[in-house]
Chain A
Amino acid sequence: MSTSLQFWPDSASSVAGEINLFYITMIVLCATIAIGIAIFLIYCAIRYHRKRENEMGDQTRNYIPAEVTWIVTPFLLFMGMFMWGAKMYMDIERPPDDAIPMYAIGKQWMWKIQHPEGQREINELHIPVGRPIKITLTSEDVIHSFFVPAFRTKQDVLPGRYTMIWFEATKPGKYHLFCSQYCGNKHSGMIGYVYAMQPADYQAWLTQGAPEGSLSSQGEKYFHQYGCANCHHFDNQGRCPDLRNLYMRPVQISTGDYVTADDSYIRESILDPNAKIVYGFQPNIMPNFSGLIPEDQVVALISYIKALGPAPGNQMPSSNGAVPKSFGTQPGIAGPNATSGSGSHRGQR
């Protein structure tokens, strides 16, 4: 039996410090007020304790200045809390541009992690400290949630669409990775560890090698295996779009709207091609791969398409302020709003 009593969690990410500060500020503020109220209650209970059975209290019904004070003061305090909380949320939700892209797939009851260099891990995640990491998340079955308490961040992992979490570890160490959204029988066993390492150690860990090659070269293999290459020639001619320089480029679709070709868009193009048809191309030519390509191979394919080169003069990096949470709002395969989801992804603003 562990008899140690822990009161404070590890703080090991770039946002942890400010969240701790906010938390402590809230405790001090709320405790002061709560203790104030408690003292006043006890004071009244004792000071005005009934002395004679037949006595009644003072009959004041109202005092407007007091009423106004305790409506306005809490309101102002609440607005302060709201603004500080919202500011931190922006920091937590928007990844820096240079974040290392990784992928994590949740399934009952494990985490499958894929590094761009090709390493695959289960229930373990190795990362370098001092570098922002951006993980694209999806689930193969039910909703899970990717939670690293030491980094003070979590994100639900949804089936059928991508969400994103990012963090920058600041202290090397071994930290809990929890699933925090109830997902069935072994929910409490869907846990693992994040290993934050010094960059040099991380490089050493990477060189232990990925037997199947980098994620994009795995993707290239699938690109041929699933016959994508039969249609998608890299010549910008014929019936199929050229996939070079597609990633993060605004794509015009048949409705005339522009959509940024981010991970969610490419995933949807593969698993539900008819959801958005590229302008000038025909629907019902590209086969529907939904149910045929598992999520981890979709991730490899995206990685391959990404590696085909970024769009020249790209003006919409993923973290561009205009649409900060594009990952989270982009519907995936055939959601009811799959066709309407393009609104927030309109191209160049």
Chain B
Amino acid sequence: MQLQDQVHIGGSADMTIETIAEPVRKNYLNDKQGILSWLLTTDHKRIGLLYTFSITVLFFIGGFFALMMRLELLSPRNWLVSTETYNKLFTMHGIIMVWFFLIPSIPNTIGNFVIPLMIGAKDLAFPKLNLASWYVFMLGAGVTIYALFRGGVDTGWTFYTPFSTGYSTTYVIAAAMGIFISGFSTIMTSVNFIATIHRMRAPGLTWFRLPIFIWSMYANSVVLVLNTPVLAITLVMVAVERVFQVGIFDPALGGDPVLFQHMFWFYSHPAVYTMVLPGMAVISEIVPVFSRKPIFGYTAVAFSSVGIAVIGFLVWGHHMFVAGESVYSAMAFSLLSYFVAVPSAIKVFNWTATMYKGSVSWDTPMLYAIGFIGLFTIGGMTGLFLAALGLDVHVHDTYFVIAHFHYIMVGGTVMAFLGAFHYWWPKISGKLYPEGLGKLGAMIVFLGFNLTFFPQFVLGYLGMPRRYAAYPEEFQMLHIISTAGATILGVGYILPLCYLIWSWKYGKPAGPNPWRATGLEWQTSSPPPTHNFKKTPVVNVRAYDYEAMKEQLGLREREFENV
């Protein structure tokens, strides 16, 4: 499957992409040496790796909390930790996973690494801002970890008032500050992406020639720039009420507790889309590459990202159907929630159609992508259950909701994150990972995930409320199954970590384009040189145009024996 290192692009008259892929001995990894060359780097690729390192550590911290919770829930009574500790566990799990893993996960690691490569740019528009973003992120993470070591927070990641402002005795402000700070890094990176995508595309790379990945990351960045300030304001208001007893949310001080929910979900519903849009971006790359076909319905897929970004701002009230909302506003929010489901459905159907009559390989990234499509479909469809007003009254705040969003966030985003790392790993490290272990890991993650979260749908309809440290006995069996699944899932996450690190040193050299993909990032050497391309590439084909690039990629038409 390995393409020869010397594949030379840029000779023949009907060539489509002009660029240079000669083997380069100097690359971004060995260009400069020493720890300072990393800590002071402005190379988007190195910063992507800095982010990858920090986010991986944070993911395993958040995962550890999840495992502790699952162990505690083996028994209906508290047997492992106290209720106080349990409450802190799910809060810290949520805070770390949402703000320090999911939101930055794909954009700040993979996005940072591949966006300039994909559009034929030397770097992001503001390389120093990019480095600053990482430091700000680390500061935010540090403050949050500080809150953790001082004794944790017990408000839930949602910080509902007046509990968070007037009743919790834990380190609410420190945790909120950590999130507040990390928000600046989110904005810095998003602004950087927006500017880069607008201004730094290679000559000839028009909007409708861009890979879908870029469209989705663009939509994602716009949402983050618009909604993160709302979170910042909301957290500051929580802090102000908590410290100065100014009545904003607490009715005892003259405030309105539901106001907080409006503000929080006005941020947080778009935020859940910013957690999954990058995942969709990745899948929209992997599926065409491993089917050797252009993505089906390019325009529909591209605009569905935009649709999600826009309508996603109008549905926050669906988190408040039982919070005392009027029936009429509940209906409006329900209707809009169904509208926002349409673009997601469009994507699923188009990904599936992309595989039809393709040349489908079963490489690890593709297994993750197929897993993503399946799990995201279940997650999305159970969202339709929740958007139905009458049913939401019953399943709201139960394990049904937990299962639903884990299908999207873990079954979707984390699968995409792993898929992305497997797909771009040859580019990042210049090495191939052991394919057999890769497939095994993808299987374990898929099975472990379903075993963990599927029983939670059942628990939810049975009426098991979320955030319960102890629970009635009849729910125990399902909790045990879920915990068993979680341990398998844990193994599934540790395995890729091990062999990817191993392959960094011992893996076989990958060559510039091991997947025979069409993207610009594959037209330069692996690992890429510091400035990405020896010569600025010129683009005159659409994304995924195998037809136009077949000579260059050494491909032939497929013979369909009996089609």
User: Chain A interface (Cβ within 8 Å of chain B)?
Assistant: 1-9, 15, 18-19, 22-23, 26, 30, 33-34, 37-38, 40-41, 44-45, 48-63, 66-67, 70-71, 74-75, 78-79, 81-82, 84-93, 108, 141-143, 145, 147, 149-150, 152-156, 158-161, 163, 176, 178-189, 191, 324-325, 327-329, 331-337, 344
Contacts and interface: CB of A to CB of B under 8 A. Distances in A.
Given A9-B461, A143-B162, A182-B156, 17 more contacts: A22-B388, A30-B382, A44-B355, A48-B359, A58-B357, A59-B546, A61-B297, A71-B345, A84-B388, A89-B334, A89-B389, A147-B465, A158-B251, A159-B251, A178-B463, A185-B154, A189-B470
Contacts of A155: 322, 324
Contacts of B463: 9, 147, 149-150, 176, 178
A52 B547 CA distance: 17
Contacts of A186: 83
Contact of A81 (B348, B387, B466, B470): B387
B396 A154 contact: yes
Interface of B: 1, 75-76, 83-84, 87, 154-156, 160, 162-163, 166-168, 247, 250-252, 254-259, 291-300, 321-327, 330-331, 334-335, 338-339, 341-342, 345-346, 348-350, 352-353, 355-362, 370, 373-374, 377-378, 381-382, 384-385, 387-394, 396-398, 458, 461-463, 465-478, 516, 546-547, 550, 554-560
A25 to B, nearest CB: 10
A58 B87 contact: no
Contacts of B163: 142-143, 182-184
Contacts of A108: 167
B555 A55 contact: yes
Contacts of A48: 291, 355-360
B342 A74 contact: yes
A177 B203 CA distance: 65
Contacts of B550: 56
A59 B478 CA distance: 46
Contacts of A82: 334-335, 338, 387-388
Nearest to A15: B390
Contacts of B469: 187-188
Contacts of B291: 48, 57
Nearest to B341: A78
A61 B556 contact: no
B556 A54 contact: yes
Main secondary structure of the interface of A (DSSP, over half): mixed
B160 A181 contact: yes
B111 to A, nearest CB: 25
Contacts of A57: 291-293, 357-360, 546, 558
B258 A89 contact: no
Contacts of A334: 247, 251, 254
Contact of A71 (B321, B346, B466, B546): B346
A67 B299 CA distance: 10
10 contacts: A37-B377, A49-B361, A51-B359, A60-B357, A142-B160, A142-B162, A143-B160, A180-B396, A188-B83, A334-B254
A9 B397 contact: no
Nearest to A335: B256
A33 B345 CA distance: 11
B157 to A, nearest CB: 10
Contacts of B458: 7
A179 B257 contact: no
A68 to B, nearest CB: 10
